[in-house]
């Protein structure tokens, strides 16, 4: 892929990545005899991004017209964008939140047909077919138990406790970590 196209793909990927899945009202669990843990709150991907963060702020005045692969400005711009996105701030209000979120699996560790850890991303192809989204749009997921029947780029619902924790993997930098208590195939709500 030409470097100038990669720059455009980075911008499009981030724009496409926000709020890919629409929120659906969740049922709240009630336990009359004792205090139940807080229910999992369904969130949207844009809730992971601090409201005052603008991923394009540093790049609005840059001239992208006429850039070619062999233009040193293209490589410098791509490197600068990757640095900004890898350092993308997380939303501190999400730290410790019990959440339910839909996204796509990017496998990190598989063995004997079982998925032991993965990245959850907001749109198909993120980290594999397109450049990784900003770190605040990537969640490093550790399921409570290895998963069977889940492959890369399948849509899933994930329930668990979210932490603002940066992690670097071969597929991208994640700004969040989630200890998943439940991972299920995504089905469109009725």
Assess if residue 167 is contained within a domain.
Answer: yes
Domain span at residue 155 reads: 3-23+37-185
Determine the Cα angle at 184 with ends 178 and 115, to 5°: 65
Closest Cα to residue 20, out of 46, 59, 55?
46
Assess if residue 96 is contained within a domain.
Answer: yes
Assess if residue 154 is contained within a domain.
Answer: yes
The whole-number pLDDT of residue 32 equals: 46
In a structure prediction context, what are the per-residue pLDDT tens digits for the chain, which is 190 residues long? 444 434 444 443 444 444 344 333 333 434 445 667 789 999 999 999 999 999 888 888 887 788 888 888 888 888 998 999 999 999 999 999 999 999 999 999 998 989 999 999 999 988 877 789 999 999 999 999 999 999 999 999 999 999 999 999 999 999 999 999 999 999 877 7
pTM more than 0.75: yes
The whole-number pLDDT of residue 17 equals: 43
Assess if residue 47 is contained within a domain.
Answer: yes
Number of structural domains (the chain) is 1
Compute the distance between CA of residue 22 and CA of residue 44 in angstroms, rounded to an integer: 7
Assess if residue 93 is contained within a domain.
Answer: yes
Assess if residue 29 is contained within a domain.
Answer: no
Assess if residue 180 is contained within a domain.
Answer: yes
CATH number of 109's domain: 2.40.50.870
The whole-number pLDDT of residue 20 equals: 42
| 134 DSSP β-pair partners | none
Three-state secondary-structure class, residue 49: coil
Compute the distance between CA of residue 98 and CA of residue 104 in angstroms, rounded to an integer: 19
Assess if residue 190 is contained within a domain.
Answer: no
């Amino acid at each position: 892929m030409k470097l100038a196209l990669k720059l455009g793909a980075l911008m499009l990927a981030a724009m496409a990545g926000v709020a890919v899945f629409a929120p659906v009202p969740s049922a709240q669990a009630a336990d009359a005899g004792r205090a139940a843990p807080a229910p999992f709150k369904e969130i949207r991907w844009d809730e992971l991004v601090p409201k005052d963060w603008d991923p394009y702020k540093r790049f609005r005045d840059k001239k992208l017209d006429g850039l070619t692969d062999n233009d040193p400005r293209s490589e410098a711009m791509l490197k600068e964008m990757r640095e900004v996105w890898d350092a993308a701030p997380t939303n501190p209000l999400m730290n410790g939140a019990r959440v339910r979120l839909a996204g796509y699996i990017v496998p990190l560790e598989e063995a004997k047909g079982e998925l032991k850890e993965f990245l959850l991303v907001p749109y198909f192809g993120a980290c594999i077919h397109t450049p990784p989204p900003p770190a605040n749009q990537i969640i490093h997921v550790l399921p409570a138990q290895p998963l069977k029947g889940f492959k890369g780029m399948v849509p899933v619902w994930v329930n668990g406790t979210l932490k603002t924790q940066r992690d670097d993997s071969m597929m991208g930098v994640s700004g969040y970590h989630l200890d998943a208590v439940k991972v299920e195939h995504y089905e469109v709500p009725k």
